[in-house]
Amino acid sequence: MVRRYDPERRDRIIDAAIRVVGAKGIAGLSHRSVAAEADVPLGSTTYHFASLDELLIAALRRSNENFAVVMRESEALADPDAGLAEELAGLLGAYFSGGRGRAELEYELYLAALRRPALRPVAAEWTDGTAELLSRRTDPATARALIALMDGICLQVLLTGGEYDEAYAREMLGRIAR
């Protein structure tokens, strides 16, 4: 038996899982649906991810990293003279500017941790990493409060079908950051 070397296969499977969840929700995720989306043999998905929870963990970690990169690359978050509330509100605005699809997908994966305990540590990784980043500008308790408010604002936008209101976010984040 000859095996073809395919170092990107695992990443393609993760990306395919993210697309499947985006199109069909968590309920539509299966090794078979991901294999079809990734255009790989079914055995490849089970080789790289023995369970759906392992695949969801990888997808959640990848999704978390997308916003974390944006936050880490923000020069204003690192600048003690820049307005923290203004920058966070702007980052949320940029997050929603690409449409609701990405936000819906990321929150669906994030909230899957409610029913799948294996995902909880990965969901906590994002919160902990973001709190550590924000703690460079404020105390740890305020950093966590800012994260909770950002999550709440995002969920309200997604659940109500409303538009993201950057001015409102800036005002509320400012109240906590003071």
Residues 40 and 75 in one domain: no
- Considering the entire predicted model, what is its pTM? 0.84
Question: At 155, phi and psi to the nearest 5?
Answer: -65, -40
Residue numbers of the domain that contains 29: 1-50
Is residue 17 in some structural domain?
yes
Q: Which of 140, 141, 134, 135 is nearest to 88 (CA)?
A: 134
Say if residues 88 and 150 touch (Cβ distance below 8 Å).
Answer: yes
Q: Do 71 and 29 belong to one domain? A: no
Q: How far apart are CA 138 and CA 147, in angstroms?
A: 12
For residue range 139-164, what is the model confidence (pLDDT) as tens digits? 999 999 999 999 999 999 999 988 99
Looking at residue 64, which CATH number applies to its domain?
A: 1.10.357.10
Write out pLDDT tens, residues 43-102: 999 999 999 999 999 998 888 887 778 888 888 888 888 899 999 999 999 888 878 888
Check whether residue 64 and residue 41 sit in a common domain. Answer: no
